[in-house]
Amino acid sequence: MGTQRIELPAPGSSVTAPNECSVTFDGGTTDSCNYYVACPSTTFTSRVQTTGAEWSTCFTNSEHSYRFSGIEGTDACAFATNFCVNFPENLTSPPVCEVDIDSTPDGTCQYLNQCTQAVDLGFGVTAEVASSYAILSCYPGAASGYDCECRGDTIDARAWHMESLDDIDPCNDLQALCFGSNTFSIGRAAGTQGECDADPVFATDNQCQITERCTHTQPYGTNTTLSVTETETSQCVNAGDGWNCTCNASGVRSARFSPIGEPAPETLCNDALDVCRQPTIEGSGALTCSEAVLEDAADGCEIDFECEQPIAAGTQEVIRKSSGSVVCDVTLDGWQCGCRYGAEQEWWLLDAQLTSMDACSQAVAACSPNLAL
Q: What is the pLDDT along the chain (373 residues), one digit of tens a residue?
A: 689 999 899 988 888 888 888 888 877 776 788 888 888 777 888 888 776 656 788 887 678 888 888 887 777 888 888 898 888 888 999 999 999 999 998 889 999 999 999 999 999 999 899 988 999 999 999 999 999 999 998 887 889 999 999 888 899 999 988 988 777 888 888 887 789 998 888 888 899 999 999 999 999 988 999 999 999 999 999 988 899 999 998 778 899 999 998 888 788 999 999 999 998 899 999 999 999 999 999 999 999 999 999 999 999 999 999 999 999 999 888 999 999 998 888 888 999 999 999 999 999 999 999 999 9
Can you give the pLDDT at residue 341?
Answer: 93
184 and 256 share one domain: no
- Residue 317 in any domain: the answer is no
**Residue that finishes a domain, picked among 167, 189, 211:** 189
Residue 313 lies in a domain: no
Helices (H), ranges, the chain: 75-85, 170-179, 268-277, 356-367
Residues 21 and 53 in one domain: yes
Q: Of 29, 64, 85, which residue sits at a domain end?
A: 85
CB atoms within 10 A of CB 217: 18
Q: Does residue 93 fall inside a structural domain?
A: no
Distance between start and end Cα atoms, the chain: 39
Whole-number pLDDT of residue 208: 93
Specify whether 81 is located in the same domain as 10: yes
- End of a domain among 85, 115, 140? 85
Question: Does 134 fall in a domain?
Answer: yes
- Supply the pLDDT for residue 343: 82
**For position 30, what pLDDT does the model report?**
67
Phi/psi for 201 (5° steps) reads -70, 130
Q: Are both 251 and 226 inside the same structural domain? A: yes
User: How many domains does one find in the chain?
Assistant: 4
Partner residues linked to 99 by β-bridges: 113
Same domain, 114 and 184: yes
Give domain status of residue 182, yes or no.
yes
Asked whether residue 293 falls in the same domain as residue 372, the answer is yes
Q: Is 312 within a domain?
A: no
In this prediction the pTM is 0.69
SS3 111: strand
Instruction: Note whether 115 and 74 are same-domain residues.
Output: no
Residues 121 and 185 in one domain: yes
pLDDT at res. 52: 61
Give the CA distances from residue 197 to residues 201, 213, 214, 216, 373, in Å, rounded to whole numbers and listed in that order. 12, 5, 6, 12, 32
Q: Which domain holds residue 243?
A: 194-279
Same domain, 138 and 69: no
The pLDDT of residue 42: 78
318 within domain boundaries: no
Residue 54 C-alpha from the chain's centroid:
27
The C-alpha atoms of residue 328 and residue 302 are separated, in whole angstroms, by 7
32 within some domain: yes
- Report the distance separating Cα 184 and Cα 178, nearest Å: 10
